[in-house]
Amino acid sequence: MAIEHSELMAELSSLNCRTNFTIKKITEYMLPELKEPIYLHGADKDCQLVIRPAYEVFLADLSELEGVKHKEGYFHNNEMTRFPKRVQKSLNGIHYGLAFKFSDKEAVKRFINRLISIINGG
């Protein structure tokens, strides 16, 4: 069973992730004490966290965490303005990243802590 949107938001807050804005179904967060954006997309039971595509080299490491599931392919959304663009259907390109779903709050905590560790070179 997947974690709900409100639970995911509460867990990100408890982990000291800062909210910058919400537009449509996208909320931008910054990881604690880092200038690294992540995006929360969705509502109710259909939600996911999206990270920069640069972390694709750590995909296996992040996906093997208990309760964490990578959604195949890239997730695209124009509101993820801090992420790079990729030309797909439009000539201008669209912002994209790697999307993950979680089974529970502990899985979110493991994921965020591992991501911070990766960013800090650990």
Residues 7-61: tens digit of each pLDDT: 999 999 999 999 999 998 999 999 999 999 999 999 888 899 999 999 999 999 9
Sign of CA dihedral 104, 106, 107, 108: positive
Q: Which domains does the chain have, with CATH numbers?
A: 5-119 (3.90.1150.40)
User: What's the pTM?
Assistant: 0.94
| Paired residues of 22 in beta bridges | 27
Determine the angle formed by the axes of helices 5-14 and 105-119, rounding to 10 degrees.
50
Helices (H), 1-122: 5-14, 59-63, 105-119
Model confidence over 63-119: pLDDT tens digits?
999 999 999 999 999 999 999 999 877 778 999 999 999 999 999 999 999 999 999
* Half-sphere exposure in the Cβ direction for 18 (13 Å, CA): 9
Sign of CA dihedral 88, 94, 95, 100: negative
